[in-house]
Structure 1
Amino acid sequence: MSYEVKSSELQVREWLTATFTRQNAGKKREKPKFKSVANAIRTGIFFDKLFRKQQSVQCPIPPEIAELLREINSWSFNPFQLNEVSEGHALKYVGFELFNRYGFMDRFKVCSNLMKSWFVYLFKLDEAETATGTHQVAHHR
């Protein structure tokens, strides 16, 4: 009987050792393969490009309006003051700030000429609405 007890104790000890100790203790760690290193570098470059703020094209914002827009993400931002300083063009400058701040031009690979044409169209539309009051009427019904 003592042989069976020792045998079962040995089996339990081996199982505990195999289950709860590191199996790699005696093995050497393999060097990383060239392919895995290259993939890690490529992934790093991808994320660097994705999150880097490099803006080649900036939307034009006058300095006095840019000063007000610095506070756009805080509760103290005053949109009415921005509208007054921008002579009724607050929405346009908020859009410009978003394009500049988040790098939409580069991120979405928008051609600067196309963007300039689009802004010219928006300016004309905004001026037409301001002159005729059509946009304001929608808000004051």
Structure 2
Amino acid sequence: MNDLGIKFKATVNELEVLESGILLLIGNEVVFNIDSLEIKLIFSLEADENKKPHYSGQVENGVLVINMYNFKDSSLGDGINTPLEIGVVNGRSLSFIFYINSHDTNNEFGLKEFKYSFLLGNKNDG
């Protein structure tokens, strides 16, 4: 329910949109907190400048850390086109999808337009 008391719900391929937005990033980190789940994205460059943008993730001290590599030269955009399942919230699978445009490719941590959605699956009956 929104601030006006109007019910609103969006679904994409049977996944409920929990949150969706655009952030303008001027640094190399962004942190999301969803209930007790903390998700930290860290943008960095690898030494091999020919490597394409990619990501990897691991849990560190209870925080899901997703390393976002080589998203510097993405003026046309890079991201994932299939939701990535990253956890469970209130018995429902939590997935994440993103798309990034870089607007200052002369600066390692220049302005990035970060579009994201967090999606919820059906209630787990198990």
> Per the shorter chain, which TM-score range?
under 0.3
Question: Which one has the bigger helix percentage?
Answer: 1
TM-score (norm 2): 0.20
TM-score, length of structure 1 as denominator length: 0.19
Using CA pairs under 8 Å that are at least 6 residues apart, name the structure with larger relative contact order, 1 or 2: 2
Greater share of strand = 2
Computing the radius of gyration from Cα coordinates, the structure with the larger value is: 1
